[in-house]
């Protein structure tokens, strides 16, 4: 835990000096460096590993709960029905397109699912939520988190360069950023280059995408529960056919995964609390700060599990798939933004 705290302090310090670099992205990068530099790799892989694994799993879920305090239903509805339909359409098309692209590049099914979730909704937070509901191992989230961080950082550098060639207004650029960039911090870093008008609509559009995390995870939870139940029925039938049916079935039935994980319920509760308007700016700022701390520590923990040599060996197809998906989502987001701000 001390290792994650020190790394997080360094990430916030660099972000304070260079605001265009999101603290969450820096946390992942510092985790990568700590895991692969000879002077720190032994410590990260040894005594620090249990604490970092705890942060990567539990702090991520707590951070997702606190993310709900950034989403106001009032602000989302203020976009208008056309914008809401467009944003939902971009999310669905991005998810489906990214999943298909990942499978075409022969990525494993679980990796494809996590990449599609992270790219279409809210980056590493969405990956953590989907991994939890589908019971995917933390180690299998490392590559998707690295890809979504890389492509989100790419957007910070490239999208502002396209404002003048595409002749985009600040509102159109902000809507494009909110509809296509993955992480909330990366959206802010990208949109603020075009001023406050761009930043305002970018954040609302992005948080509308974040709000879709709950229904997407709920659908995944229903599918996982159905799949688990079917598999156990098949196993029970085989046991009965072989005459080995015993008392294990009731115990297994009790272990069915929840339709909606508790931390997603907490996320929606925080959305509801924010939407009441009861919380003062001070409380909202405190919640945002706590969320940054929790997610930053989680992302450092996940980044510290990445070995660059392994990533380069196994991730070349994944990198190509991610870049193609990033281009697809950028085009989908641009089309929606132009219609939204016409």
**pLDDT tens digit sequence for 93-122:** 999 999 999 999 999 999 999 999 999 998
Measured CA to CA, the distance from residue 133 to residue 114 in angstroms comes to 11
Identify the pLDDT of residue 113. Answer: 95
Phi-psi region of 167 (alpha: psi -120 to 50; beta: other; left: phi over 0): left
CA distance 62 to 122: 15
Quickly state the pLDDT bin for 255 (edges 50, 70, 90). Answer: low
Confidence of residue 249 (pLDDT cuts 50, 70, 90): very low
Supply the pLDDT for residue 247.
Answer: 47
pLDDT, the chain, mean: 87
- pTM here? 0.82
Region 203-225: mean pLDDT is 87
pLDDT in tens, 163-195: 999 999 999 999 999 999 988 888 988 998 888
Both tokens assigned to 167:
């002749």
Tell me which range, 280-289, 294-303, 311-320, is most confidently predicted by mean pLDDT: 280-289
């Amino acid at each position: 835990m001390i290792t994650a705290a020190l790394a997080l302090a360094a990430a916030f310090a660099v972000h304070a000096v260079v605001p265009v670099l999101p603290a969450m992205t820096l946390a992942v990068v510092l985790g990568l460096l700590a895991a692969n530099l000879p002077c720190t790799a032994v410590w990260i892989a040894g005594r620090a590993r249990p604490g970092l694994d705890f942060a990567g799993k539990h702090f991520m879920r707590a951070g997702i709960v606190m993310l709900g305090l950034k989403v106001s239903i009032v602000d989302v509805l203020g976009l208008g029905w056309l914008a809401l339909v467009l944003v939902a359409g971009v999310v669905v098309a991005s998810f489906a397109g990214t999943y298909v692209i990942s499978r075409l590049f022969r990525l494993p099914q679980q990796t494809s699912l996590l990449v599609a979730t992270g790219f279409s909704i809210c980056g590493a937070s969405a990956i953590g939520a989907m991994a939890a509901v589908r019971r995917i191992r933390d180690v299998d989230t490392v590559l998707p988190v690295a890809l979504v961080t890389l492509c989100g950082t790419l957007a910070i550098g490239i999208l502002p360069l396209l404002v003048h060639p595409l002749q985009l207004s600040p509102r159109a650029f902000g809507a494009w950023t909110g509809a296509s960039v993955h992480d909330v911090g990366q959206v802010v870093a990208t949109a603020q280059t075009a001023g406050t008008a761009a930043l305002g609509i970018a954040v609302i559009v992005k948080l509308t995408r974040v709000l879709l995390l709950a229904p997407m995870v709920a659908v995944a939870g229903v599918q996982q529960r159905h799949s688990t139940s079917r598999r156990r029925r098949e196993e029970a039938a085989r046991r009965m056919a072989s005459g080995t049916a015993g008392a294990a079935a009731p115990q297994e039935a009790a272990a069915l995964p929840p339709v909606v994980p508790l931390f997603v319920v907490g996320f929606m509760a925080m959305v509801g609390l924010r939407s009441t308007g009861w919380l003062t700016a001070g409380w909202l700022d405190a919640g945002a700060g706590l969320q940054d701390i929790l997610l930053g520590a989680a992302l450092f923990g996940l980044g510290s599990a990445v070995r660059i040599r392994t990533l380069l060996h196994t991730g070349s197809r994944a990198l190509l798939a991610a870049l193609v998906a990033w281009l697809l989502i950028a085009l989908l987001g641009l089309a929606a933004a132009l219609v939204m701000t016409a």
